[in-house]
Amino acid sequence: MRLSRGGSKKRPYYRIVIADARSPRDGKFIEKVGTYNPLLAKDDEKRVVLDTERAKHWLSVGAQPTDRVLRFLDAAGVKERTARNNPNKGKPGEKATERAEERAAKAAEAAAAAEAPAETAEA
């Protein structure tokens, strides 16, 4: 179970389809079980339209939903989705950490340089 993209450029529209894993994203599929329109408001009932009976049937015969489709199935009460936890997601990357350390070192040098002439002027 996955999403198949339709719609024009910058105007996405997705069908929730049952497809063989080897077929292309927008290619051949076995059955359409719903639609997803991300351009609609999050509280709009037409944003995700799902045939829950067919979805339950395909899950019972072994269909594996993608993460996004599993979110829709969880919201519809068809299949439970376990919550994930990624504590490293919000942390900056390696290069950003290096740049932050360099900035901190330069700021410390500038503060030390600003203090040194002030001390000699007082003496």
Q: How many CA atoms lie within 13 A of 84 on its CB side?
A: 7
Q: Which amino acid makes up residue 106?
A: K
Q: Helices H, strands E: what count in the chain?
A: 3, 4
What's domain 2-76's superfamily in CATH? Ribosomal protein S16 (3.30.1320.10)
Q: Domain-by-domain residue ranges, the chain?
A: 2-76, 87-123
What's the pLDDT at 84?
82
Show the tokens assigned to 72.
């829709």
Helix (H) or strand (E) holding 94, with range, is helix 94-122
pTM confidence score: 0.67
> pLDDT tens for residues 48-98?
999 999 999 999 999 999 999 999 999 999 988 888 888 888 888 999 999
Q: 73 forms bridges with which residues in the sheet?
A: none
Q: Are strands 31-36 and 48-50 parallel, antiparallel or unpaired?
A: antiparallel
